[in-house]
Amino acid sequence: MECAADDAELFELEVGAIAGGGGCAARAPDGRVTFVRHSLPGELVVARVTSTTTSFIRADAVTILRPSPARVAPPCPHAGPGRCGGCDYQHVSLDTQRLLKASRVAEQLQRVAGIQRDVEVEPVAGDVAGLGWRTRVRLGVGPSGSVGFRRHRSHELEYVESCPIACPAIEGTGALGARWPGVEELEVIVAPDSGESLVSVEMGRRAPKDRTPKGRKNPDLPEVAARVVVDGRALQRSGAVYTKVAGVPFRVSAGVFWQVHVGAVDALARAVRAALAAAPGDCVVDLYAGAGLFSVLVAGDVGPHGSVLAVERERRACADAEHNGRACPQLTVKRASVTPNLIERGIGAPDLVVLDPAREGAGRGVMAALNGHSATVRRLVYVSCDPSSFSRDIRVLLAADWRLTSLRAFDIFPMTEHVELVGTLEPGPRQFPR
Ligand X SMILES: C[S@@+](CC[C@H](N)C(=O)[O-])C[C@H]1O[C@@H](n2cnc3c(N)ncnc32)[C@H](O)[C@@H]1O
What one-character-per-residue DSSP string does 379-408 give? EEEEEES-HHHHHHHHHHHHHTT-EEEEEE
Given the residues 84, 87, 328, 385, select the one marked as catalytic. Answer: 385
| Options 24-32, 131-139, 252-260, 424-432: segment touching ligand X (CB under 6 A) | 252-260
Binding mask 117-136 vs ligand X (x if CB under 6 A, - otherwise)?
--------------------
Interface with ligand X, residue 407, by CB under 6 A: no
Interaction between residue 314 and ligand X (CB under 6 A): yes
Q: Collect all residues with Cβ–Cβ distance below 8 Å to 286 and sequence separation of at least 6.
A: 292, 294, 295, 298, 308, 309, 310, 311, 353, 354, 355, 356
Of 84 and 317, CB closest to ligand X:
317
One of 289, 370, 394, 419 touching ligand X (CB under 6 A): 289
Q: Which of 288, 390, 410, 413 binds ligand X (CB under 6 A)?
A: 288
Residue of closest CB approach to ligand X: 290
Contacting ligand X (CB under 6 A), which of 338, 343, 377, 425? 338
The three-class DSSP label of residue 301 is helix
The one-letter amino acid code at 94 reads L
Residue 254's CB is within 10 A of a number of other CB atoms, namely: 24
Q: Which of 320, 181, 314, 193 is nearest to 252 (CA)?
A: 320
Our measurement of the distance from residue 402's CA atom to the centroid of its chain's CA atoms, rounded to an integer in Å, reads 26
Q: Is 142 exposed, middle or buried (0-12, 13-18, 19+ CB in 10 A)?
A: middle
Q: Find the angle CA(316)-CA(318)-CA(319) to the nearest 5 degrees.
A: 65
Distances in Å between the Cα of 25 and the Cα atoms of 43, 47, 97, 412 are 11, 12, 16, 24
Q: Is 312 in the site for ligand X (CB under 6 A)?
A: yes
Angstrom distances, CA of residue 137 to CA of 75, 165, 243, 250, 259:
18, 10, 17, 20, 12
Q: Which stretch binds ligand X (CB under 6 A): 76-84, 187-195, 308-316, 397-405?
A: 308-316
Considering the complex, what minimum distance in angstroms separates the CB of residue 316 from ligand X? 9
Nearer to ligand X by C-beta: 137 or 338? 338
- Smallest separation (angstroms) from ligand X to the CB of 420: 10
Query: Judged by CB under 6 A, does residue 335 bind ligand X?
Result: no
Determine the size of the site formed for ligand X (CB under 6 A).
19
Q: How near is the Cβ of 65 to ligand X at its closest, in Å?
A: 40
Q: According to the binding rule CB under 6 A, does residue 257 interact with ligand X?
A: yes
Does residue number 337 form part of the binding site for ligand X (CB under 6 A)? yes
Per the CB < 8 A criterion, the answer to whether 241 and 192 are in contact is no
Q: Identify which range of 53-61, 152-160, 355-363, 398-406 contacts ligand X by CB under 6 A.
A: 355-363
Which residues contact residue 335 at a Cβ distance below 8 angstroms, ignoring those fewer than 6 apart? 312, 313, 315, 318
Q: Which CB sits closer to ligand X, 226 or 268?
A: 268
d(CA 167, CA 133): 5
Choose, by CB under 6 A, the member of 11, 133, 180, 258 that binds ligand X.
Answer: 258
For position 271 contacting ligand X by CB under 6 A, the verdict is no
Determine if 191 is a binding residue for ligand X (CB under 6 A).
no
- From candidates 8, 128, 358, 375, binder to ligand X by CB under 6 A: 358
385 is known as an active-site residue: yes
Answer yes or no whether residue 317 interacts with ligand X by CB under 6 A: yes
Stretch that binds ligand X, among 3-11, 41-49, 284-292, 326-334 (CB under 6 A): 284-292
Residues 6+ apart with CB under 8 A from 150: 85, 86, 140, 156, 157, 158
Task: Say which residues have a Cβ less than 8 Å from residue 312's Cβ, sequence separation at least 6.
Answer: 288, 289, 290, 292, 318, 321, 333, 334, 335, 336
Residue 410 touches ligand X, criterion: CB under 6 A: no
Q: What are the C-alpha distances in Å from 231 to residues 187, 204, 239?
A: 11, 8, 11
Q: Which is nearer to ligand X, 224 or 289 (CB)?
A: 289
Chain residues in the site for ligand X (CB under 6 A): 257-259, 288-291, 293-294, 311-314, 317, 337-338, 356-358
Active site residues: 385
